[in-house]
């Protein structure tokens, strides 16, 4: 029998659409999913065997160098997910594989440490020092730790090893996660919660692709309810793994301790702030199936679960699920895709679900479970509009008379106030009073924000930073540059002048640089050491401050100006969330919403506390123009080195747009941020009917034009950013 060379195709974590073929040397086995080292040009690279080729090639192929034996192969479902996700987001498959290989160290043999433990044999000669060592050696300890615990020299310990009274045991440095205990709920569930929990348990037991929307106001106990679905998955299958996605991992300390309380062990955490050692351990433990509950940011979707039985997307409407850099994707959408591939249940939880999800629920594709607030525990505060057209603040002040009075009352009652302004820094714009020049970043079309705490001007899009100049860079006038409009720092200045003696703090991504400093500030607020907290949207999420009774929204219209498709929806969700921070337990709260546009539906229906009416209004608007969730959108952004080159290639690209029924292409138009990091940008917007395979349309279009390497194209399926 002649032996044919065996061929495997290997996908590399590179911007490559297809796997490459390699020959498998005699005696080497590498089934699909195996991690292998292969040559690529002059380099060697780790890739994944994507398929075995039945037909021998007559081309001369390079050979696989080695199979990485310690790494468990990437499961078939994971490979299917990578492929389908790549198609959906119109990105090379290799880019998605790269996201699944975030911990290279996890592929290697787990590092071991050597520990000592008593054998039970007594040494022939016993001394008091030896006695002390053996008394401490009941559990494995390193030589140094054992010597320290017994307060003896390391020589004593060594001698006991030689005498056979201690033995060396090896232990991995990546200890396995302990199995969670499904146990029972800690608190009694309300009748509402019981019904929802039972419905979710049933979905989990069906062992099929099922989507549930868990819809309930803040304080309705969504977490307790989805905990019961997690418990059911754990109970039903001793190997079940559960993924819980959270939008903001820095704020999840509280959630993590609730998991620990409910299931007896802390979940595995996966996010960018975790160190490489922690990531290595989690990746490995997920692959081995021992990490049973994983709590993570959007990238946790790309972990190699062996047996995913349930996914929870908490705060499913949150914008931070959309990744805007590199591979552009929405983690909620890909989570639904992943659940479909795994044939498991997925729960989308929110107090203000996205219109997409509400529409899927309305059409019966998703099960809609609604929770009402628990009586007595917390209720939505009274929401009042302060119409600034009637009662405006003074010049260069932003707190109007109504809000000001309410703050005074709150301080007098020894309660806390939260002022919400979604603008970092001191002033969002710096203007020359002499010539009218507005300061921009040198390579980007966006205004520079003045930051007074740091004395810098910063571009929030690119991070470009400069010292504030003494003279206007345009006309040279000295001392003519003035900040226009308020940021949180300027608001703090106003609060200090108005409410003398009040303890004021600012919470924004600039003032809390680390999760630790955030936690510290939150503890001070909880402990009553802060009277007025001023914050950006970072304050909207998840904190419960018992003495907080007043929320002031300083500029409700900010998110509506220059609005894109989701401006109204986003404003409504955000403001409702912020307003919901006021009032807890026995103290009723109130929210004062300052606005110049009280008639805009997002603001008016917010004041009425009528989410359903707002949703109905917004749905109607979208339906009329065939926008999501009634149609689909895609964006194509071309970026070139010069304006001429951008125009030239944008028109060539536009001319190549395929004709397809149910698809409209608009553009090219200069992007709102026309120049970003020195690159000139042109945008196309594609609207398609719901039944159109928009990804396939975009992929076909992209493939029709061979762009020079200096022109980059980014494709955004279901865009959230229209910049
Ligand atoms: Zn000037």
Ligand 1 centroid – CA 468 distance (Å): 14
Question: pLDDT confidence of 519, banded at 50, 70, 90?
Answer: confident
Ligand 1 centroid – CA 470 distance (Å): 11
Ligand 1 centroid – CA 439 distance (Å): 9
Could you identify the residue written with the tokens 């705060």?
315
pLDDT at residue 336 in the model: 98
Ligand 1 centroid – CA 480 distance (Å): 7
pLDDT above 90 for 409: yes
Question: pLDDT confidence of 537, banded at 50, 70, 90?
Answer: confident
Ligand 1 centroid – CA 695 distance (Å): 48
Query: What are the tens digits of pLDDT across the range 330-372?
Result: 999 999 999 999 999 999 999 999 999 999 999 999 999 999 8
Query: What are the tens digits of pLDDT across the range 224-272?
Result: 999 999 999 999 999 999 999 998 766 666 778 889 999 999 999 998 7
pLDDT at residue 597 in the model: 92
The alpha helices in 442-593, defined as continuous H runs, are 488-498, 515-526, 567-579
**DSSP 8-state class, residue 274:** S
Q: What value does the mean pLDDT take over residues 651-672? A: 95
Ligand 1 centroid – CA 435 distance (Å): 4
pLDDT above 60 for 178: yes
Query: What are the tens digits of pLDDT across the range 51-65?
Result: 988 666 667 889 999
pLDDT at residue 419 in the model: 96
Ligand 1 centroid – CA 433 distance (Å): 7
User: Helix or strand or coil: residue 288?
Assistant: helix
- Can you tell me the distance from the alpha carbon of 203 to that of 197, in angstroms, rounded to the nearest whole number? 10
Tokens of 716: 């955004």
Ligand 1 centroid – CA 673 distance (Å): 23
Question: pLDDT confidence of 2, banded at 50, 70, 90?
Answer: very low
- In percent, the amount of the chain with pLDDT more than 70 equals 96
pLDDT at residue 542 in the model: 63
Query: Whole-number mean pLDDT of the chain?
Result: 91
**DSSP 8-state class, residue 539:** G
Ligand 1 centroid – CA 460 distance (Å): 23
- Can you tell me the distance from the alpha carbon of 469 to that of 440, in angstroms, rounded to the nearest whole number? 12
Query: What are the tens digits of pLDDT across the range 464-475?
Result: 999 999 999 999
Ligand 1 centroid – CA 596 distance (Å): 30
Question: pLDDT confidence of 502, banded at 50, 70, 90?
Answer: very high
Ligand 1 centroid – CA 469 distance (Å): 11
pLDDT at residue 247 in the model: 87
- Can you tell me the distance from the alpha carbon of 424 to that of 426, in angstroms, rounded to the nearest whole number? 7
- Can you tell me the distance from the alpha carbon of 369 to that of 226, in angstroms, rounded to the nearest whole number? 11
- Provide the sign of the torsion angle of the four alpha carbons 138, 142, 147, 148, taken in this order: negative
Burial class for 289, CB neighbours closer than 10 Å (0-12, 13-18, 19+): middle
Burial class for 591, CB neighbours closer than 10 Å (0-12, 13-18, 19+): buried
Q: What value does the mean pLDDT take over residues 617-628? A: 94
- In percent, the amount of the chain with pLDDT more than 90 equals 67
Could you identify the residue written with the tokens 């001369």?
60
Ligand 1 centroid – CA 479 distance (Å): 10
Ligand 1 centroid – CA 448 distance (Å): 15
- Can you tell me the distance from the alpha carbon of 553 to that of 262, in angstroms, rounded to the nearest whole number? 35
Q: What value does the mean pLDDT take over residues 471-494? A: 94
User: In degrees to the nearest 10, what's the CA dihedral of 81, 83, 85, 87?
Assistant: -160
Question: pLDDT confidence of 433, banded at 50, 70, 90?
Answer: very high
pLDDT at residue 250 in the model: 63
Query: What are the tens digits of pLDDT across the range 88-110?
Result: 999 999 999 999 998 888 887 77
What pTM was computed for the model?
Answer: 0.89
pLDDT at residue 585 in the model: 61
pLDDT at residue 1 in the model: 45
User: What is the CA angle 346-80-69, rounded to 5?
Assistant: 110
pLDDT above 60 for 377: no
Please provide the distance, in angstroms rounded to a whole number, between the alpha carbons at the two ends of the chain: 64
Ligand 1 centroid – CA 436 distance (Å): 6
pLDDT above 80 for 218: no
Query: What are the tens digits of pLDDT across the range 122-162?
Result: 888 888 989 899 888 888 888 889 999 999 988 999 998 99
Q: What is the 3-state secondary structure (H, E, C) of 38-96?
A: EEECCEEEEEEEEEEECCCCCCCCCECCEECCCCCCCCHHHHHHHHHHHHHHCCCHHHH
Ligand 1 centroid – CA 453 distance (Å): 24
Ligand 1 centroid – CA 446 distance (Å): 18
pLDDT at residue 26 in the model: 86
């Amino acid at each position: 029998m002649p032996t044919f060379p065996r061929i495997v195709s290997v996908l590399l974590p590179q911007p490559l659409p297809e796997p490459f073929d390699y020959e498998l040397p005699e005696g080497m086995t590498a089934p699909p999913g195996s991690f292998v080292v292969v040559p690529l040009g002059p380099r060697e690279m780790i890739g994944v065997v994507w398929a075995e080729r039945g037909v021998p090639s007559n081309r001369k192929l390079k050979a696989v160098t080695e199979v990485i034996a310690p790494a468990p192969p990437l499961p078939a479902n994971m490979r299917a997910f990578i492929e389908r996700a790549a198609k959906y987001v119109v990105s090379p498959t290799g880019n998605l594989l790269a996201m699944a290989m975030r911990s290279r160290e996890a592929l290697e043999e787990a590092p071991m440490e050597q520990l000592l433990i008593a054998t039970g044999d007594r040494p022939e000669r016993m001394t008091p020092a030896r006695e002390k060592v053996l008394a401490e050696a009941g559990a494995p300890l390193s030589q140094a730790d054992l010597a320290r615990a017994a307060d003896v020299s390391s020589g004593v310990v060594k001698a006991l090893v030689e005498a056979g009274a201690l033995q060396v045991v090896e232990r991995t440095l990546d200890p396995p996660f302990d199995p969670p205990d499904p146990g029972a709920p800690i608190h009694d569930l309300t009748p509402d919660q019981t019904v929802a929990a039972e419905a979710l348990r049933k979905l989990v037991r069906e062992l099929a692709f099922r989507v549930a929307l868990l819809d309930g106001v803040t304080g309705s106990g969504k977490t307790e309810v989805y905990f019961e679905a997690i418990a059911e998955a754990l109970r039903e299958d001793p190997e079940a793994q559960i993924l819980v996605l959270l939008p903001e991992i820095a704020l999840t300390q509280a959630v993590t301790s609730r998991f620990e309380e409910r299931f007896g062990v802390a979940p595995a955490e996966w996010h960018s702030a975790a160190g490489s050692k922690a990531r290595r351990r989690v990746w490995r433990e997920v692959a081995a199936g021992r990490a049973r509950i994983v709590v993570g940011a959007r990238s946790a979707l790309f972990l190699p679960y062996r047996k995913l039985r349930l996914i929870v997307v908490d705060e499913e409407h949150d914008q931070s699920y959309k990744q805007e850099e590199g591979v552009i994707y929405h983690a909620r959408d890909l989570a639904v895709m992943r659940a479909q591939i795994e044939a498991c249940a997925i729960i989308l939880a929110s107090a203000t679900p996205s219109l997409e999800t509400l529409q899927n629920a309305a059409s019966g594709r998703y099960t809609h479970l609604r929770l009402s607030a628990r009586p007595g525990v917390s209720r939505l505060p009274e929401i009042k509009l302060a119409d600034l057209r009637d009662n405006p603040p003074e010049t260069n002040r932003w707190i109007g008379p109504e809000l000001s009075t309410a703050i005074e009352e709150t301080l007098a009652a020894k309660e806390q106030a939260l002022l919400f302004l979604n603008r970092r820094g001191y002033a969002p714009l710096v203007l020359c009073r002499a010539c009218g020049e507005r300061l921009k970043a040198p390579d980007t079309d966006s205004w520079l924000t003045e930051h007074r705490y740091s004395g810098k001007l910063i571009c929030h899009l690119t991070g470009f930073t400069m010292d504030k100049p003494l003279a206007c860079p345009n006309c040279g006038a000295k001392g003519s540059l003035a900040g226009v409009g308020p940021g949180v720092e300027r608001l703090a200045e106003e609060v200090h002048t108005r409410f003398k003696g009040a303890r004021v703090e600012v919470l924004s991504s600039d003032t809390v640089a680390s999760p630790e400093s955030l936690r510290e500030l939150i503890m001070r607020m909880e402990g009553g050491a802060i009277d007025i907290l001023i914050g950006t949207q970072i304050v909207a999420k998840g904190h419960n401050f018992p003495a907080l009774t007043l929320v002031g929204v300083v500029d409700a219209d900010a998110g509506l100006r220059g609005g894109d498709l989701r401006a109204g929806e986003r404003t409504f969700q955000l403001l409702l969330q912020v307003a919901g921070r006021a009032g807890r337990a026995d103290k009723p709260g109130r929210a004062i919403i300052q606005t110049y546009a009280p008639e805009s539906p997002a603001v008016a229906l917010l004041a009425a506390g009528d989410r359903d009416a707002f949703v109905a209004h917004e749905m109607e608007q979208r339906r009329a123009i065939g926008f999501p969730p009634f149609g689909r959108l895609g964006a194509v952004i071309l970026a070139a080195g010069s304006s001429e080159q951008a125009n030239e290639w944008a028109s060539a690209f536009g001319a190549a747009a395929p004709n397809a029924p149910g698809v409209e292409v608009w553009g090219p138009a200069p992007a709102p941020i026309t120049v970003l990091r020195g690159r000139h940008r042109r945008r196309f917007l594609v609207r398609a009917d719901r039944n159109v395979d928009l990804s396939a349309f975009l992929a076909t279009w992209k493939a029709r034009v061979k762009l020079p390497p200096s022109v980059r194209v980014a494709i955004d399926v279901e865009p959230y950013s229209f910049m």
